Amino acid sequence: MTQRKIGLTGGIGTGKTTVSNYLAKTYKLPILDADIYARQAVEINSPILNKIAQRYGTEILLSDGSLNRQKLGEVVFHNNEERIWLEQQIHPFVRQRFAEEMNKLPSNSTVILVIPLLFEAKLTNLVTEIWVVFVDEQQQITRLMQRNNLTIEQAKARINSQMPLVEKCQKADVILDNSDSLESLYKQIDAALTS
Ligand code: ATP
């Protein structure tokens, strides 16, 4: 048997965490999270953080030497070239961490890889199937505004900075439609897992 490696992705705030929490709690599946590895990539004194500080100056750091994420976010949000440079530093590290963690798991296990930028970061070859969590755009905007305390313009800007959700759905093996209740979402997850 080979590992069943489910790549869980979607748009910002569409429900990836809600799905992975359910899979962990109900099915006790191991969850590997790209966001955690991306944070490890830029830990204090890490080689990548040092490169970032060389490129943007120490003003990109907070007084304790950790990364000023908000400042870096402002740099890359407005500058595509810099965003690409940054991703080239971080994505190989994330890929390596996934490989390490999957090696620790039994060869016949099912594992969930939560990767918000699965397509953008070209990490699809890490997984054996792709699940996309979808919500209709109106719901996505509403939930994002509520959860992150954003204006409608801010919510839309974040959504529009990503690959369109419909495009992700076209590349999915499974689409989980999270536009309705949690109960409806959980039923779809149960079905997808046993299929
Ligand atoms: P991010 O991309 O920011 O990491 P995410 O894809 O992990 O977000 P969640 O954090 O799971 O998304 O969900 C976003 C918000 O929507 C949360 O506040 C969550 O509680 C809420 N939410 C998720 N699913 C539903 C649902 N079916 N009904 C109502 N609220 C929901």
Token reading at 1: 């048997």
pLDDT for 65: 95
Q: What residue's CA is closest to ligand 1, atom 24?
A: 15
70 falls within a domain: no
Q: Residue 158: what pLDDT? A: 87
Question: How many angstroms is it from 19 CA to the middle of ligand 1?
Answer: 9
Asked, for residue 171, whether it belongs to a domain, the answer is yes
Q: In the chain, where does DSSP find H-type helix?
A: 16-27, 34-41, 47-56, 69-77, 80-103, 137-148, 152-160, 165-170, 182-194
Q: Are 185 and 178 in contact (CB under 8 A)?
A: yes
Q: Is the C-beta atom of 13 inside 6 A of ligand 1?
A: yes
Q: Total domain count for the chain?
A: 1
Asked if the structure places residue 189 within a domain, the reply is yes
Per the domain annotation, does 57 fall within a domain?
no
Whose Cα sits closest to atom 9 in ligand 1? 15
pLDDT at position 152 is 95
**Binding-site entries for ATP:** 13-18
> How much is the pLDDT for 1?
64
Residue where the block lists tokens 């997850």: 189
Q: Is 15 in the pocket of ligand 1 (CB under 6 A)?
A: yes
- Asked if residue 150 has its Cβ within 6 Å of ligand 1, the reply is no
Is residue 169 included in any domain, yes or no?
A: yes
> Strand 129-134's sheet: what is its strand order?
31-33, 110-114, 4-10, 129-134, 174-177
Answer yes or no: is 52 within a domain. no
Domain of residue 109 covers: 4-30+105-194
Within a domain: residue 19? Answer: yes
Q: What are phi and psi of 155, to 5 degrees?
A: -60, -45
Q: State pTM to two decimals.
A: 0.92
Cβ–ligand 1 distance for 140 under 6 Å, the answer no
Write b or e for each residue in 119-144: b if 16 or more Cβ atoms lie within 10 A of its Cβ, otherwise e. Answer: bebebeebbeebbbbbbeeebbbebb
Q: Which residues of the chain, if any, have pLDDT below 70? A: 1
- CATH number, domain containing residue 186: 3.40.50.300
> What are 148-181's pLDDT values in tens digits?
999 999 999 889 888 999 999 999 999 999 999 9
- How many angstroms is it from 13 CA to the middle of ligand 1? 5
CB atoms within 10 A of CB 69: 12
pLDDT score for 183: 98
In a domain, 36, yes or no: no
